[in-house]
Chain A
Amino acid sequence: MAKTHVTMKVNGAEVEGIVEPRTLLVHFIRENLQMTGTHIGCDTTHCGACTVDLNGMSVKSCTVFAVQAEGAEIMTIEGMANADGTLSALQEGFRMMHGLQCGFCTPGMIVRSHRLLQENPNPTEEEIRFGISGNLCRCTGYQNIVKAIQYAAAKINGVEFQEAAE
């Protein structure tokens, strides 16, 4: 099959590549761009480990073809840190609240949570749980992931994070 030239903006940088139409976006990111922060978990659209931000939407990059992202703006976990290299509020939240154990789901969790907080800067616990329902974690039981996102929301909103009593 004829290969196609694709260009897109990934974490603010223009990138291009030659791909077969069947190349999945996650493979383009991991193999062509050598950015392996985006993980492949289930490869069946369930687990959300491959979540990237595409034109302001959280998408599972194992279920989008790279050719569909022609001209798109994409953000991956590699683009999450602050411009000066310090941790973003979400990354700091995951660190401070112990929001990861093995860490496999974490890139997808953080990228998804980023979009969630863009759309709803002050979510309730229930809204957080519903908002990350497309991301599976097999270690944490989600408790500390929810706290990490609450921590980040508080920091972004400039209020002190109060951990809920257990």
Chain B
Amino acid sequence: MIPGPFSYHRPASIADAVKLLSTLDEARPLAGGHSLIPMMKLRLSTPEHLIDLHGIDALKGVRRDGDKLIIGAMTTQHDLLESDDIARSMPILHETSLLIADPQVRYMGTIGGNVANGDPGNDMPALMMVLGASYRLQGSGGTRQVAASDFYQGAYFTALEPGELLTEIAIPVPPTGHGYAYQKLKRKIGDYATAAAAVILTMKSGKVATCRISLTNLSETALLAEDAAKAVIGTGLDDAALKKSAAAAQTIMSPAGDGRGPPEYRQHVGGIMVMRALTSAAARAK
């Protein structure tokens, strides 16, 4: 399979990339390319210009900014796994990176591409929602910061305007001693989730003090399950609380039926992922 023809550009700065994206017709940024290139080989995507972002050093790396971690859009899943700061302060990001695709894909796949593509099967959007992250979008008219929870509008539809580039992600560091878990049911290693749930919580005297829950591949976009999180606040995560939370999460799920199973099955296991993630997160909380 050969992609359609295109012109290749390799800018050295964010400003140059934005300029190319906003002035050329049918231009797309090329990050890791492991979603885009397969789509181009199937001719489902036929950009006339590819703007390769690999030459822009300013888009790479993980740094601290006060109580936030700032991750450049071109930071790969492999880079995330190599970061001690992430493993220490945001272990859910480390745990999830290990569940994305396979080693070869993780060397190339970027966090920016993963969150900006709008693919409901990608794992990072739900992670960004549960962590309360925001995205920096740069266009010819300037930059703006958009919360992950406001970014996704539908499958492959996001708040990104034509000509805009997602340049970095700001993630507030969760409190010390927080519990976390990303529970992902998949058919085989490297697969997209049949259903997945992310949980970040804090415990106080055996009860849940704060909690956020998000869901992957159970709707057209990742979802923040706010009622499901409310259902466990103040509880010791007994069976009744877990079931109530799962039921609340299930009311907002609307999964598609595909090779991973019919909607009813995915909704069912989605509830189970929520319960497992809550239990696992609570066991890790200090």
Binding site for B on A (CB under 8 A): 1-2, 4, 20-22, 24, 27, 43-46, 48, 51, 57-60, 63-65, 67-68, 112, 116, 130-134
Contact = CB atoms under 8 A, between A and B. Distances in A.
Interface residues of B, number: 29
A21 B103 contact: no
Interface stretch (B5-13, B14-22, B60-68, B88-96): B5-13
A63 B108 contact: yes
5 contacts: A45-B34, A63-B108, A112-B103, A112-B104, A134-B104
Given A21-B50, A65-B37, A1 B5 contact: yes
B104 A51 contact: yes
Nearest to A129: B189
Given A44-B38, A63-B37, A63-B108, A2 B103 contact: no
Contact of A134 (B1, B7, B105): B105
A133 B107 CA distance: 13
Interface of B: 1-8, 10, 30, 33-34, 37-38, 40-41, 50, 52, 54, 78, 101-105, 107-108, 189-190
A164 B148 CA distance: 48
A40 B107 CA distance: 19
B102 A134 contact: yes
A63 B38 contact: yes
A124 B5 CA distance: 45
A18 to B, nearest CB: 13
B8 A134 contact: no
Given A21-B50, A133-B190, A60 B6 contact: no
Q: Which 5 A-B pairs have the closest CB atoms?
A: A134-B102, A21-B8, A57-B107, A1-B5, A134-B104
B114 to A, nearest CB: 15
A134 B103 contact: yes
Contacts of A46: 190
A133 B105 CA distance: 11
A23 B38 CA distance: 13
A21 B6 contact: yes
A45 B38 contact: yes
B1 A43 contact: yes
Given A44-B41, A116-B103, 9 more contacts: A1-B6, A22-B5, A45-B105, A58-B104, A64-B37, A67-B10, A67-B52, A130-B103, A134-B105
Contacts of A27: 2
